[in-house]
Structure 1
């Protein structure tokens, strides 16, 4: 089960790095920059919620 958590965390980290890279390479007042920053923030929130839920489920046993 720890392997699955590691793969999920690595996947979320890659997604976050990609979104932040796209946001930083966009022009300052480009709407894509704002969209990518919003997606990055949402991915951090989703990863946190997923990790908390999985940790809670693992502790139920």
Structure 2
């Protein structure tokens, strides 16, 4: 395997990480929760920490 073979797998891995990072936002927009903007902001700025990501997911999963 050459170094050029690693580029697609690296890009795929990065895409998977980004998609996983924004799961709370996708859930909020998919469910149509009224605070979806707040979920996006919390996810964007605090999602890097596990606690922030869980808080954003809890906000997205909360009943309407």
- TM-score above 0.5, yes or no: no
TM-score (norm 2): 0.38
TM-score (norm 1): 0.39
More helix by share: 1
